[in-house]
Structure 1
Amino acid sequence: MSITAYQNNSVETASPGELTLMLYNGCLKFITQAKKAMETGNFEQKNTSIQKAQNIIRELMVTMDPDAPITNEIMPLYDYINRRLMDANLKNEQEILDEAYSLVADFRDTWKEVIKQTRIQQYGQGGNA
C-alpha cells in the first residue's frame, strides 16, 4: 500500500474526533513549514503554507455546530488565530507564527485529551481502541 493510499484510508476510516485531530496536526505542520520558509527567505512557500494553515482554521470554523454552547467561546479564538496568520504573512514575523502555533497546539492537546476521555467512557479504563 502506498503512503498516499494509506493516508486516504486513514482519513476515510477516521472518526469525526480523529479527523479534527488530523486538522489540528496539519495546521501545525503548515505553520512549521511557513516558519522554515520565512527563515530561508522563501516567501512563496511561506505564503502557501500560511494559506494552507488558514484554510484549515476556516474549515474548523465552518464545521462547528452553531447550536453548541462552546461554539461562542471557540469561534473568536479561531478567528483570532486566522487574523494572526494573516498578520504573520504580511509582516514576516516569526513571533506571530509562534503565537498562532502555540494556540493551535493548545487546541490540539485539549482535543487529544477529549478523545482519550471519550474512549475511556466508551470502552472502560483499559480501552485502547
Structure 2
Amino acid sequence: MKGLITKEALHKKTPQEITALLYEACLDRLEDAKDEINNKDYVQANINLQKVNDLLERLGAGLNYEAGIIADQFDAIYNYLADKVIEANVMKDTKKIDEVVALLESLASSWQEAMKADVSIQKHLAHKQKTSAYEKNIMSE
C-alpha cells in the first residue's frame, strides 16, 4: 500500500489537502489496476477500479454546491470519470484507464496550483492585517 496516512494525521488535514490526497489515491489505484490488467490479474484490477469509483464518489460528496456552477462542473467531471472507470473495468481496457489518468493528473495539478495560490493569498492577507494593525496603533498615538 502506498502513502498510508493515520486517522490522526488525516484529521489534521484541510479539506483542500484531503482533496489532493483523494486525487493521489485515485491515480495510484489506476496505475495499479493498469499493471494488474497487463498481468491478467483481473480480480485485483476490479478491486482497485471499484476503489477508484469509491474515491470519485467521495470527491463528489465533498463538493460545496453553494459555490455555484463550478461545483456542478466538478460533479459532471467526477461522474464522467466514474463512467469511464466502469467501462475500463468491464472491458479491462487500459486505454480508458489512461484517459482517466490524464484527466485526473490535470485536475490534481490544477488543484495543487490553486492550493499554492491560496497559501500565497492567505500570507499576503495576514501580512496586510498586521501592517494595518501597526498603522492603526501608530495613528492613535
Residue 7 (structure 1) shift: 3.4
Deviating runs (4+, > 6 A) in structure 1? Answer: none
Is 1:71 paired with 2:100? no
Asked if 1:87 corresponds to 2:87, the answer is: yes
Q: Structure 2 CA distance, aligned partners of 1:72 and 1:22?
A: 21
- Is 1:35 matched with 2:34? yes
1:119 and 2:119 are equivalent in the alignment: yes
Give, in whole Å, the separation in 2 of the partners of 1:15 and 1:68: 17
User: Any unmatched runs of 5+ in structure 1?
Assistant: 125-129
Aligned pairs for 1:3-22 within 5 A:
7-22=6-21
CA drift at 1:75 = 1.2
Note the aligned Cα RMSD (angstroms): 1.4
**Can you list the C-alpha shifts for 1:81-124, whole angstroms capped at 9, x where unaligned?**
00000000001110000000111111111110111001001124
Tell me how far apart the structure 1 counterparts of residues 9 and 115 of structure 2 sit (CA, whole Å): 16
Identical positions, percent? 22
* Structure 2 Cα separation of the partners of residues 10 and 108 of structure 1: 21
Paired residue for 1:98? 98
1:13-65 Cα deviation digits (max 9, x unpaired): 11111111000000000001100100100011100000111100001111111
Alpha-carbon shift at residue 9 of structure 1 (Å): 3.4
Q: Distance in 2 between matches of 1:47 and 1:103?
A: 20
Q: Taking structure 2 as the reference length, what is the TM-score of the superposition?
A: 0.81
Deviates more, 1:61-70 or 1:30-39: 61-70
DSSP 3-state at the match of 2:67? coil
Structure 2 residue ranges without an equivalent (≥5)? 125-141
Q: CA deviation at 1:67?
A: 2.0
Aligned residues: 121
> Structure 1 stretch 65-74 or stretch 82-91: which is displaced more?
65-74
Tell me, in whole angstroms, the C-alpha distance in 1 between the residues paired with 2:9 and 2:114.
20
1:74 Cα shift?
1.4
Correspondence for 1:127: none
Tell me which amino acid in the other structure corresponds to 2:113. Answer: E
Question: Could you say which structure has the greater relative contact order, defined with CA pairs below 8 angstroms and 6 or more residues apart?
Answer: 1
